[in-house]
Structure 1
Amino acid sequence: MTNGCICCTLRDDLLQEVRRLANEERFDYLLIESTGVSEPLPVAATFDFRDEYGDSLSDVARLDTMVTVVDTVNLLGDYASHDFLKDHGQEIGSDDQRTLVDLLVDQIEFADVVILNGPLPGVLRAKGHFWIATRPDWLAEFSLAGAISSVRPLGRWWASVPEERRPDHPEARAYLARHWQEPFGDRRQELVFIGAGMDKSAIISALDGALIKPTQRLAPEEWAGMADPFPEWQDDPRAA
């Protein structure tokens, strides 16, 4: 099958071809190789899609494993790029605004199995959420992939929300209790660094250097005047 996308124009063709092969009862496994610019999630979702006749790939096949093959010779260069897919003529449609790093992250993080043809030293990925002293009510998200990093608001810490507006579901209350520590409530830092041969001491030192000094911890009113490099954040108007 050529000249199309598995998750859209070729979806019906894929369904028919897989059904034909399944009916032959000659194969135990089928390997589907998609293009280098396809995202794994939409391809995987194709197995749950039902056409206008009610037929689905899941009727004749089960998605077992998603494999991503990584060219480590070029990965670090691509991973440090700020290019968009359209800069390389690899976009899917005129409205495709994905960066090269976006695609790499989607393909690697979604896979069950990642095959490498060489070593990858250092920090490759970092993500998580954290508390900014100058914005005590905001829950901030940090994401690092290659040369592209971002910090954006995820919402508000529950500690900044009135008691009557906090969740009352038992599981939610138990979650809050596990992460609650007076006098700051659920405010905390949770960051994950992924890589190989990482300099653990350097990472810890950099993170410790970003923390409030012990002498400042009990004086929150002084935090507002600290340097803050981020733009102003506003609540999502769609939120209740």
Structure 2
Amino acid sequence: MSRLAKPDAPRSPAPEPFNDARPAVTILTGFAPEATREAAEQLTRADPSLLVVAHDLTALLVDGTVHRTVHDGTGLIEDERLALEHGCIACTVREDLLPALVRLARTRPESDIALVLPPSMEPETVAAACSWCHVDGAPVTDALRIDSVVAVCDPATLLETLDSDEDLADRSLQAADDDNRSVADVAARQIEYADTVLLWAPRTEPAYEQARLAVLLQRLNPWARHLVVNLEAPLSAKPTDPSQDSAKPPASGETAQWLSARLRRSGGFDPDAPEPYGRGLEGYAVGCHEPEPDCGVVAAVYRARRPFHPERFHQALPAIAGRTLRGRGHLWLAAQPDHIACWESSGGGVSMGDLGRWLDATPDEEWDESSPERRVNADLNWDGEFGDREINLAFVGLHFAADELAAVLDSCLLTDAEVAEGRAAWREYHDPFAGCFESNERNQE
């Protein structure tokens, strides 16, 4: 009833646009502010003209102010505290971050920009705003382009962060009064969205723990390029595929130039890439399947065509989420057979949302609203009974048994007898998830 799948190989970075004169923006993200700032400083050592833009949101919920700084290799250029009309991340991005980037790009068009995001700000939010927002009546992308998104990870805090059961509010990092995001969810999404993942370990000796974390990051984001910085020993680029970076590491004194050559103007950002938990709908792998532990790290991909029984699946949630550090993908529930549910799990918690309707449940005249990739993927994998419906989930964790997790998931699927009852009967099943997906209710009106 289920099968395990190997992922597609990591994609090579997109080529740099030919003769693109716009300043290139390198976004540095992560849940380790000190490591992220240190990485930015290395980039300014390699290129003193590079502009480093950073926002401090500590006072955002206290008095609605944001602290923005801009500096280059010669020193501080701007240091401002601004009062926003509405204290939230979206307002910060629209009202200050984007206008500041556009202004800098226009006044110093010869300088690229490194944007250092605070821990609670996700790079996808910034990238999405750049794609559709206007500043002074012109698209943001007229003035600049996002070149790369780099997730900077600190080995001293990475595992604890990914396994945390805290919300951002527990650490006073929430971006709004109603911000209920978890620490583990945000940290995982920052890593998964990046085209380059940097394990920043300049003051630690290479050891088993560092190797384990490097493998963990590669399993969390198998489509990214992975780099490890360690100055006590030689720097290293750890390729996971022949298309990855395989340059020889420099001596520690050449860190800045080595890092700059790999992080800047790489062309790694793809604005059209699907969301990590929706990759499967577009025909991309949602993760990698490596069930045998590597430094204790296990990754598993689970796929099935028939749906989950809503009650059995609901009862199994603690067992599913509690076995792994991270899960993502999409699924369908028998009681809601027309709708795609996205799945995220981290820190022992689960988040599910609505990804719209399956194409099999969508009127033919509305198919063109879906991407060509999704339509092709649906055609290639169409099932005579279930159409394009399927379950496609990826899990990453330490020392868990992939076959045992698959057995738990298998037990949640409809049995042959239940499948034979038909969809009219499925809709009558008691559904603990009823009403959980807001867009479902709108679609059913």
TM-score (norm: length of structure 1): 0.70
Q: CA deviation at 1:79?
A: 2.9
Is the partner of 2:387 in helix, strand or coil?
Answer: coil
Show the counterpart of 2:331: 130
Q: CA deviation at 1:149?
A: 0.8
Alpha-carbon spacing, 1:111–1:77, altered in 2? closer, same or farther (3 Å): same
Q: CA deviation at 1:115?
A: 1.4
Is the partner of 2:394 in helix, strand or coil?
Answer: strand
Deviation string, structure 1 residues 20-43 (Cα, Å, up to 9, x no partner): 333xx4x5x432323222221343
What value does the CA root-mean-square deviation take over the aligned residues?
A: 4.0
Kept in 1: contact 2:150–2:196 (CA 8 A): yes
Kept in 2: contact 1:67–1:112 (CA 8 A): yes
Query: Which blocks of at least 5 consecutive residues in structure 2 are unaligned?
Result: 1-68, 70-78, 83-91, 202-209, 217-296, 299-323
Kept in 1: contact 2:184–2:347 (CA 8 A): yes
Q: CA deviation at 1:70?
A: 1.6
Q: CA deviation at 1:107?
A: 1.8
Distance 1:145 1:101 in 2: 6
Is the partner of 1:65 in helix, strand or coil?
Answer: strand
Show the counterpart of 1:13: 100
Alpha-carbon spacing, 1:215–1:50, altered in 2? closer, same or farther (3 Å): closer
Deviation string, structure 1 residues 130-177 (Cα, Å, up to 9, x no partner): 23345545543322133221345545545567xxx3447586876554
Show the counterpart of 2:390: 188
Alpha-carbon spacing, 1:225–1:72, altered in 2? closer, same or farther (3 Å): same
Distance 2:93 2:157 in 1: 26
Give the aligned residue type for 2:102: L
Alpha-carbon spacing, 1:113–1:195, altered in 2? closer, same or farther (3 Å): farther
Query: Which blocks of at least 5 consecutive residues in structure 1 are unaligned?
Result: none
Kept in 2: contact 1:130–1:188 (CA 8 A): yes
Alpha-carbon spacing, 1:213–1:238, altered in 2? closer, same or farther (3 Å): closer
1:232 maps to which of 434, 438, 444: 434
Distance 2:329 2:378 in 1: 18
Show the counterpart of 1:36: 119
- Is 1:98–2:172 an aligned residue pair? no
Spell out the pairing of 1:6-155 with structure 2 (5 A cutoff): 7-22=94-109, 25=110, 27=111, 29-44=112-127, 45-46=129-130, 49-52=133-136, 54=138, 56=140, 58-59=142-143, 61-116=144-199, 117=201, 118=210, 119=213, 120=216, 121-122=297-298, 123-155=324-356
Give the aligned residue type for 2:385: P
Alpha-carbon spacing, 1:213–1:91, altered in 2? closer, same or farther (3 Å): closer
- Answer 1 or 2: which has greater strand percent: 2
Alpha-carbon spacing, 1:135–1:64, altered in 2? closer, same or farther (3 Å): closer
Distance 1:177 1:7 in 2: 39
Equivalent pairs, count = 232
Distance 1:73 1:50 in 2: 40
1:178 maps to which of 358, 380, 384: 380
Kept in 1: contact 2:329–2:344 (CA 8 A): yes
Distance 1:230 1:192 in 2: 23
Is the partner of 1:142 in helix, strand or coil?
Answer: strand
Deviation string, structure 1 residues 103-141 (Cα, Å, up to 9, x no partner): 223322221111125313344432222233455455433
Deviation string, structure 1 residues 64-114 (Cα, Å, up to 9, x no partner): 111111224323333333433232222334444433234223322221111
Distance 2:417 2:178 in 1: 51
Distance 1:195 1:34 in 2: 27
Give the aligned residue type for 2:159: L
**Which range moves more in the overlay, 136-145 or 47-56?**
47-56
TM-score (norm: length of structure 2): 0.42
Give the aligned residue type for 2:96: T
Kept in 2: contact 1:143–1:149 (CA 8 A): yes
Kept in 2: contact 1:18–1:57 (CA 8 A): no
Kept in 1: contact 2:98–2:140 (CA 8 A): no
Distance 1:65 1:21 in 2: 20
Give the aligned residue type for 1:237: R
Show the counterpart of 2:406: 204
